[in-house]
């Protein structure tokens, strides 16, 4: 495609130019830690950079600028980051972040750092210009061939667009801006570094990341799932969404542009992961099971609750619509935290609830009316769908509890024993709707003074008649009552019958519909 003389010139030019700037190696960086006493590290010195062979290494610096007073926060090595490629000087380019951050390539390149914002400051403001490098032969060749490269790229892009008229994921409106990132005290903080993928789901993947000295979870959506990102962000920003049993939201951000755009949700991180993952590898005793079940029910009850007279502002009732053990996280102390609100819907007085398409969620946890496609599109109907799924998750908890006499089986998903790990919609319709089957209770559970009443509560959660199901608040009260009675009567085996009788004779919270 190129003339012979042009090919020769390119080869000769590259030989004369020597190694490219992208090949500058980084082995050591200047190290500093302003928080060295708390983290028990050295305050300053040199840091040896180590990483995978196929990954680049960089140096970085972060600092604060308070009314012209510079306070250095950290310096050290930085793992492979395309934002640092070919930067020989540590220069922060953001206009006015809360924490300034720069990275560069080359040994000790972070010894000096500076701030040169991309936009032009107000008149009279001093702006230091970086030294202008001397033009090289390779640079001259690059600028000479740049128009030809742009033309070739345009042709390739035109061919690709022609063959990709219908993307595999359907129509995506990239002209519509997903909206500005919401206000948050953490937006714009640097550095935030993705460390490892912890989970993959229908709408993207979840990374463990580091935000300065804090671990956070970053849920990354591709642009085609913009609606789910936007919906989950709006749910988190709803008035009153701060609760100890709901996942704590930090910020939402947009990264990249056009088809390469990624939409990020940043939340608190829990090392134990989801309840499903925890139950796969661990059994729970009676006290642990009660704590998880009660805190999980409390979080769902708060989510469902309509609080029109809150001093801080009214909180609407919210239906989760994808409640399952994978969307319940577990703290270190085994407190349950509900997350993943991509399908959630709000019910605000005088406003339409938004997208209330009926058959959404995870198939295995769908209520009979959802599988039938016979949903009453009212608030209470959606809350009752969550209650059916809560019953299944409580069954998962009971199945891994060591309280009853008898062996504890390996973890199984609801209906996994009946229809396997990957049931079709028709399989579930046959089992749940037509045969009205539910996961099986073992005899030893029903005979246990605490598990027996809990199994009765679970049955009332997944009742085939949606209007007969318990509310989340009622489930929370019942679990609390069962835990109190069994703990206070945990003396001798002779009290087994009397304890079960006392629970049965005590007026339980009413069997109300979900509200």
Token readout for 232 is 């989950």
Structural domain includes residue 95? yes
Last residue of a domain, one of 115, 139, 158: 115
DSSP, collapsed to helix, strand or coil, labels residue 79 as: coil
Last residue of a domain, one of 115, 137, 172: 115
- What is the Cα gyration radius of the chain? 29
pLDDT digits (tens, 9 = 90+) for 87-117: 899 998 887 788 888 999 999 999 999 888 7
**Is the same domain home to 295 and 215?**
no
**Is the same domain home to 340 and 230?**
no
**Is the same domain home to 263 and 287?**
no
Strands annotated E in 398-484: none
**Is the same domain home to 284 and 233?**
no
**Is the same domain home to 325 and 411?**
yes
Angle between helices 379-399 and 472-488 (to 10 degrees): 30
Please give the helix or strand (H or E) that residue 300 lies within, else none.
helix 286-304
Please tell me what DSSP assigns to residue 427.
Answer: H
Residue segments in the chain with a per-residue pLDDT below the cut of 50: 1-2, 4-22, 120-131, 164-187, 189, 491-506, 513-515
Q: Are 224 and 170 in contact (CB under 8 A)?
A: yes
**Is the same domain home to 202 and 305?**
no
Structural domain includes residue 512? no
The catalytic residue among 322, 340, 386, 463 is: 322
Structural domain includes residue 147? no
Structural domain includes residue 134? no
Q: Are 195 and 247 in contact (CB under 8 A)?
A: no
Residue 2 confidence (pLDDT): 45
Q: For tokens 């928080």, name the residue.
A: 35
Backbone φ and ψ of 246, nearest 5°: -120, 140
Residue 394 confidence (pLDDT): 98
**Is the same domain home to 197 and 225?**
yes
Q: What CATH number has the domain bearing residue 365?
A: 1.10.510.10
Residue 355 confidence (pLDDT): 61
Please tell me what DSSP assigns to residue 401.
Answer: B
Q: What CATH number has the domain bearing residue 262?
A: 3.30.200.20
**Is the same domain home to 382 and 425?**
yes
Residue 86, domain extent = 28-115
**Is the same domain home to 324 and 258?**
no
Q: Are 386 and 320 in contact (CB under 8 A)?
A: yes
Structural domain includes residue 181? no
Q: Are 59 and 106 in contact (CB under 8 A)?
A: yes
Burial class (CB in 10 A: 0-12, 13-18, 19+), 381: buried
Structural domain includes residue 74? yes
**Is the same domain home to 485 and 338?**
yes
pTM confidence score: 0.62
Cα distance between the two ends of the chain? 71
**Is the same domain home to 247 and 305?**
no
Is 507 one of the annotated active-site residues of the chain?
no
Residue 515 confidence (pLDDT): 44
**Is the same domain home to 94 and 48?**
yes
Burial class (CB in 10 A: 0-12, 13-18, 19+), 167: exposed
Residue 19 confidence (pLDDT): 41
Report the alpha-carbon distance of residue 21 to residue 407 in Å, rounded: 64
Strands annotated E in 320-437: 328-330, 336-338, 345-347
pLDDT digits (tens, 9 = 90+) for 297-332: 999 999 999 988 888 888 999 999 999 999 999 999
Q: For tokens 């989760």, name the residue.
A: 320
**The total number of structural domains that make up the chain:** 3
Structural domain includes residue 22? no
Structural domain includes residue 458? yes
Residue 218 confidence (pLDDT): 94
Last residue of a domain, one of 269, 295, 323: 269
């Amino acid at each position: 495609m190129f003339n012979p003389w042009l090919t020769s010139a390119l080869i000769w030019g590259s030989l004369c130019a020597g190694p490219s700037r992208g090949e500058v190696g980084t082995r050591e960086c200047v190290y500093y830690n302003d928080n060295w006493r708390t983290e028990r590290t050295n305050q300053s010195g040199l840091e040896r950079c180590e990483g995978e062979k196929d990954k680049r290494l960089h140096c970085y610096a972060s600092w604060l600028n308070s009314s012209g007073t510079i306070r250095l926060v950290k310096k050290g090595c930085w793992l492979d980051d395309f934002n640092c490629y070919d930067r020989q000087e540590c220069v922060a380019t953001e206009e006015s972040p809360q924490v300034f951050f720069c990275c560069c390539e080359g040994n000790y390149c972070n010894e000096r750092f500076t701030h040169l914002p991309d936009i032009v400051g107000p008149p009279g403001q001093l702006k230091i210009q970086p030294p202008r490098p001397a033009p090289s032969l390779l640079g001259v060749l690059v600028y000479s061939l740049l128009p030809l490269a742009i033309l070739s790229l345009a042709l390739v892009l035109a061919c690709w667009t022609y063959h990709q008229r219908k993307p595999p994921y359907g129509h995506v409106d990239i002209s519509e801006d997903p909206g500005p990132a919401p206000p948050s005290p953490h937006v714009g903080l640097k550095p935030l570094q993705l460390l490892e993928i912890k989970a993959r789901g229908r709408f993207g993947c979840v990374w463990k990341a580091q935000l300065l000295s804090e671990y956070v979870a970053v849920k990354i959506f591709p642009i085609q799932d913009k609606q789910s990102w936007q919906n989950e962000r709006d749910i988190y920003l709803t008035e009153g969404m701060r609760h100890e049993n709901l996942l704590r939201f930090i910020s939402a951000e947009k990264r990249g542009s056009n088809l390469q755009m990624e939409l990020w949700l940043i939340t608190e991180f829990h090392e134990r992961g989801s309840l499903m993952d925890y139950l796969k590898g661990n059994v729970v005793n009676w006290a642990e099971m009660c704590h998880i079940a009660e805190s999980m029910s409390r979080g769902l009850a708060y989510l469902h609750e309509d609080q029109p007279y809150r001093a801080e502002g009214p909180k609407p009732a919210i239906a989760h619509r994808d409640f399952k053990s994978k969307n319940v996280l577990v703290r270190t102390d085994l407190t349950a935290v509900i997350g993943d609100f991509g399908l959630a819907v709000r019910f605000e007085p005088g406003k339409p609830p938004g997208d209330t398409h009926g058959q959404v969620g995870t198939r295995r946890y769908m209520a009979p009316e959802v599988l039938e496609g016979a949903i009453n599109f009212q608030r209470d109907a959606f809350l009752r769908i969550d209650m059916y799924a809560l019953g299944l998750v409580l069954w998962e908890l009971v199945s891994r509890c060591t309280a009853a006499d008898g062996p504890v089986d390996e973890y199984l998903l609801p209906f996994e024993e009946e229809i396997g790990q990957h049931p079709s919609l028709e399989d579930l319709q046959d089992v749940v709707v037509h045969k009205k089957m539910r996961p099986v209770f073992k005899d030893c559970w029903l005979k246990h003074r605490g598990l027996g009443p809990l199994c009765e509560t679970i049955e009332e959660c997944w009742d085939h008649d949606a209007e007969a199901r318990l509310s989340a608040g009622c489930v929370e009260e019942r679990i609390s009552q069962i835990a109190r009675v069994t703990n206070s009567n945990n003396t001798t085996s002779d009290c087994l019958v009397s304890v079960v009788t006392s629970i049965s004779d005590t007026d339980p919270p009413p069997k109300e519909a979900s509200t």
